[in-house]
Each structure stands twice: as structure tokens, then as C-alpha cells.
Structure 1
Amino acid sequence: MVFAELGLSSIALVLLFILGLGILILIIKLLILFIPGIIIAAVTWYITQDAFLTGVAFIAITVLMIIFKR
């Protein structure tokens, strides 16, 4: 009868807190993954001022980070 004492709203609050924490951790991991691509894209933009080359540099570095991380 633990559930009767805690109440459904308390259990829902704990579950939503765990879900929010998981989403926050996922966002932080994605930002860490994208940092090298963002840096290389910024340097490419500074040198060439070309949006296409900047996008290609970002995607290439991000894909390489994913491949070599495994």
C-alpha cells in the first residue's frame, strides 16, 4: 500500500523529473558532439564566407566524430 500513501501525483512528479533529467543529459551530450563541427564551420565561414562550404565542413566533421567515436 505504498502507492496509496504517496499518491499518484507524487509518482507522476518523480517520473516526469527523471524524464526531464534524461532529456537534459541527451541535449548536453549532443552539444558536446557538435562542438568540433561548430568550431571548424566557424573557421570555414571566417575564411570563405560561403554557406555551402560551411555546411559541408560541419556535416563532414560531425560524421567523422560519430564514426571514429565508436
Structure 2
Amino acid sequence: MFDPYTGADVAGGVDPARITAAHRGLEPPRFCTQCGRRMIVQIAPDGWWARCSRHGTVDSMSTEQR
């Protein structure tokens, strides 16, 4: 398992340091949580999407906390 903002391996249970925007949910993920690859990210006024070449797409609508 990989950190979506830094790409660091979090399998050891260590929580990597994150920027404030990521903690507040304002920053889209830049790395795939399954493989750690850098993703293609598109930011729009109404949200964002990020695509891993191996594991598909995630978007702001699918990760919103309700």
C-alpha cells in the first residue's frame, strides 16, 4: 500500500508527513495507492480526476466524504 500524496510505501504502518492541503482534502492524490505509480491528474473547477495506467481512474466524487 502506498501513500496517495507522496508515493511512499506505508506497508510498515508509518504515516508519512503530508502537506496541509492534503490533510484538508484540497489536494488530489498524485500516486496510485495500489502500485505507487505517478498518476495523470486533471483539476477542474468542479472537482478532479486521477488515472493510474494500471488500476484505472478515481475522482473527487468517488472520494468525497458524505
- TM-score w.r.t. structure 2 length? 0.23
More helix by share: 1
More strand by share: 2
